Chain A
């Protein structure tokens, strides 16, 4: 089954404790992306990747890091999480950047 898998689905943590949200897709897609979704602000792109070792900033990259060492994986790293990063996060992938994206089920992060 074609899918984008995110882990964990839910996480409650504390300020400053480094965390990683993993994202993996099994569709051999080149384009992968991370979004955060906040009430009233919609989905905002954090980082995207055009292919292995090619990443770039989206609209809200501050406080986040990403890497793309393998085509299927695109982890999101919060080196020093802060409460304003409490949000619902989605990973998505598409064959190329101008085609529709397939979304993971989301990760709800709460940073206290």
Chain B
């Protein structure tokens, strides 16, 4: 069983729409959750971090965490073609020292 699971996509949304990306994790004691964006051939860059249940908003991005259901999601409002990338979910697990990444969801924003 994968520790962090994401739908690989591609997820296609029209420009201006809301993109919803989901991630589930298996380690109940996980405490830190991250969303990274990775353009093709580039290194991952942090979009959002979230540590407690609920929503966290930063500009067009909202991260949502539900520890009871063991999922974390990322909403991108007013999606732009420049948002087209692979989005990686990462979770601190294994006593908070190891970091486990999902395989990523590829997002395509159609102009």
Q: Which residues of A contact B (CB under 8 A)?
A: 33, 35, 40-45, 48, 50, 56, 58-59, 90, 97-106
Contacts and interface: CB of A to CB of B under 8 A. Distances in A.
The 7 residue pairs across chains A and B that have the minimum distance between CB atoms: A42-B103, A103-B43, A43-B101, A98-B32, A100-B46, A100-B49, A98-B92
A103 B44 contact: yes
Interface residues of B, number: 22
B43 A105 contact: yes
A42 B102 contact: yes
Contact of A40 (B34, B43, B96, B103): B103
Interface of B: 31-32, 34, 42-46, 49, 51, 88, 90, 92, 96-104
B92 A45 contact: no
A44 B101 CA distance: 7
A33 B99 contact: yes
A46 B43 CA distance: 16
B44 A90 contact: yes
28 contacts: A33-B99, A35-B101, A41-B103, A42-B88, A42-B103, A43-B88, A43-B90, A44-B101, A48-B97, A50-B97, A59-B100, A90-B43, A90-B44, A97-B92, A97-B97, A98-B31, A98-B96, A99-B49, A100-B34, A101-B46, A101-B99, A103-B43, A103-B44, A103-B45, A105-B42, A105-B43, A106-B42, A106-B43
